[in-house]
Amino acid sequence: MPPVPSATNMQITASFKQFTQGGRIFARLTLYTLLLTFFLIPGCSVGMGKNMLRTDTGNASQLEKGINAFEKADYEKAREIFNKLIETRIGTFELQEAQWYLAQIAEEQGRFNEARQQYALFIQNFPSNSHMTEAKEKLAALSSVRDQTTETFETEPVLRQREAFPRYGRLSGTLTSEYLYDHLLSSEPATATQNRLSEFLDLRWRKMVRTDMRIYFLGTYSQGFLDQEDPHSQISKLFAEWNNLRSVLDFRLGRQPASGNTLFSRFDGTSVVYRPFNLINFNASTGYPVHTFGSNKVEIQLNHLFYDAYLTVFDFYHLGGKIYYTEEFKEGLSTRNAVGLNGYWLKDHINITTILDYDLDFGKFNDELIGLEYTHLNMRYSGTVEYRKSPFLDYETALLDPSLVGTNLTTLEALKQSRSLDQIRSLTLANTSDLLDFQLGTAVDFSKIWRGDFRYGHTISEVVDFTVGRTRKTADRLSMFLSERNGLNFSEVWTLLLLYQMATDSQTVTSSSSLSKYWNSSAVTSLRFRWDYTEFITSGARSFRYIPGLAFSLSFKNGMQASLEGDYAIEDSSTSPDTLTTVQTRTSITIPF
């Protein structure tokens, strides 16, 4: 007869099954999504026209010809081809790629004003394109670079010389040094409250000038000089990326930004993008979320694992967005298991957006949002209604329950040993707040010089209060934003923001304004002022804060930037007889390479 499994083996098997349940769900979702992609979508293409999902051969060859001309530095021929595609391929994938390459052509030829315009158009029109991150980086790098003369960019020797220069070759990026110093003047004697030097290194290595292999890095090192502060180091981004326009597959490995479907912003792991059609992307990623680092610590949190998969659709009968599935494991327990939708319908002057996030374990919605925006002439009207959990449902929220204060139940592992899953679920729900929010807004372009934005919001929330339990609170918000550009022919930009919030237990008024003068394309001076007032209704306590400030920034021909900022803060509170006066300064230098 077969051997009888031991109790230990049965426990191990049960634990393994519990832990891998999410993996099986992830695998099923991946399979179902691929089946949907390969079988259902082509079936839906009947009657759409051949060009909606796949590029026809003629235009594909034209796109290839344009890319080949670009790679051979025949920019005029490439420009002609891409301009023709833009005229004839409205609303297609070829249009996006043509816009992307036109911006690169302008940059390669030293027409930086044109390049800035092309990159800005690309970012505005195609926010979900795979080149979006690089487009934003290029636009930021070109913000202070002047145009070259026509004699310096069209000859092949000069082009080779520029490509051999590090800025256009294998390695590029920025190094920023930032020094913060705050001094409290109202104390006797006056004392420094902040004295810190930070270094930010953001670089990108490319295998060749125009290829599909890149390595990205973003790191910070900060050293404080008060009371022997320990230095702080952090790696925000370190990953390799492989992609190819002619391929249907993109791959990333390392510390990278998250998709937005999760409760964290970065993770250590891998992600894959599969593009079977021009209008559809399938993304899958797995790894370990990145938590806040301690001093001099760069480590991978192996006790926190996640899976994430989503299907993205670009402009399919005016529809776009993504459908996703995500699951997180903490200390062997599936703490978040959710599906969601983030989509839009855009046609003419109407834009409808919706967000849904549904937790499969709890059987409840984390987020439900519907928004409508309508544009007519020089006015834009908008409104949204949203119901959400705060925070999103996560078993780790159970550790915040007041009944656990003073016990040794400070981790999920310990909580699992003393509570059933249903009890942990009840503790999680008891410590999660519910929020219902309404917003209405109107934006008006009064003229080419003046613009205004007016908004109203109302929030109803059931907040968890550790002293009285769940309590109902409301808040009303009013905001007004005005901007003026060069109305005095003084190369100035003026902005004014007014915020007012009346809540159940407090009211807040905030006013901020700035006046910036552009002396030329490389120097900007700004005067700014901020005023805050807060009153707590239950206690009657009030506080005021006034912050006038000055900022100056200078850009150089080689792309280097320097800035100096200073603020004079005055804080007064009814709970303290003293008025705090502080001088806050910030100095930074950014060097591109």
Least confidently predicted of 165-169, 309-313, 536-540? 165-169
Q: What is the pLDDT of residue 92?
A: 61
Average pLDDT over residues 149-177: 55
| pLDDT confidence of residue 151 | 36
Identify whether 297 is part of a domain. Answer: no
Question: Is 549 a member of any domain?
Answer: no
Task: Count the domains in the chain.
Answer: 2
**Comparing C-alpha atoms, which of 69, 140, 141, 148 is closest to residue 106?**
148
Q: Tell me the pLDDT band of 159, cut-offs 50, 70 and 90.
A: very low
| pLDDT on residue 34 | 41
| pLDDT tens by residue, 562-579 | 999 999 999 999 988 889
Instruction: Flag whether pLDDT at 551 surpasses 90.
Output: yes
- Domain termination site, one of 431, 460, 478: 431
Residue where one domain finishes, among candidates 129, 152, 175: 152
Structure tokens at 391: 């925070």
pLDDT in tens, 468-504: 678 899 999 999 999 998 888 888 999 999 999 999 9
What is the phi-psi region of residue 397: left when phi exceeds 0, alpha when psi lies from -120 to 50, beta otherwise?
alpha
Relative orientation angle of helices 112-125 and 93-108, to the nearest 10 degrees: 160
pLDDT average, residue stretch 64-81: 82
Q: Which stretch, 42-51, 218-227, 291-300, 447-456, has highest mean pLDDT?
A: 447-456
Spatial CB neighbours of 343, under 8 Å, sequence gap ≥ 6: 313, 319, 320, 321, 322, 323, 353, 354
User: Would you say residue 15 lies in a domain?
Assistant: no
What is the pLDDT, as a whole number, of residue 205? 83
Q: What is the dihedral of CA 326, 330, 332, 334, to 10 degrees?
A: -40
Say how many CA atoms lie within 13 Å of 560 toward its Cβ: 7
Token pair recorded at residue 302 = 């192996």
- Residue 91 binned pLDDT confidence (cut-offs 50, 70, 90): low
pLDDT exceeds cutoff 70 at 381:
yes
Asked if residue 402 belongs to a domain, the reply is: yes
Give the model confidence (pLDDT) of 4-47 as tens digits.
444 434 433 443 344 344 444 444 444 444 444 433 333 333 33
pLDDT band of 67, cuts 50, 70, 90: confident
Q: Assign residue 122 the CATH number of its domain.
A: 1.25.40.10
Residue 406 domain boundaries: 394-431
Q: How many CB atoms lie within 10 A of CB 342?
A: 20
Residue 311 burial by Cβ neighbours in a 10 Å radius (0-12, 13-18, 19+): buried
What pLDDT score does 528 carry?
A: 97
Place of tokens 């021929």: 77
Interval 157-163 mean pLDDT: 44
* Three-class HEC string of 448-474: CCEEEEEEEEEEEEEEEECCCEEEEEE
Is position 522 within any domain?
A: no
How many other C-beta atoms can be found within 10 angstroms of the C-beta atom of residue 457? 16
pTM for this one?
A: 0.71
Last residue of a domain, one of 152, 173, 196: 152
Residues 6+ apart with CB under 8 A from 399: 409, 410, 411, 412, 415
112-125 vs 132-141: helix crossing angle, rounded to 10: 150
Give me the residues paired with residue 345 across strands.
319, 352
What's the mean pLDDT when you consider all of the chain? 81
The token pair at 314 is 């670009």
Within-domain flag for 142? yes
Model confidence at 90, pLDDT cuts 50, 70, 90, reads low
Name the pairing type of β-strands 191-206 and 171-184: antiparallel
Sequential DSSP letters for 66-82 = HHHHHHTT-HHHHHHHH
Q: Report residue 199's pLDDT band, with 50, 70 and 90 as the boundaries.
A: very high
- Domain assignment present for 102: yes
Task: Give pLDDT tens digits for 389-412.
Answer: 999 999 989 998 888 888 888 888
- Percent of the chain with pLDDT strictly greater than 90: 42
In a domain, 492, yes or no: no
According to DSSP, residue 491 is labeled S
pLDDT in tens, 267-324: 999 999 998 877 888 999 999 998 765 544 567 888 899 999 999 998 788 889 999 9
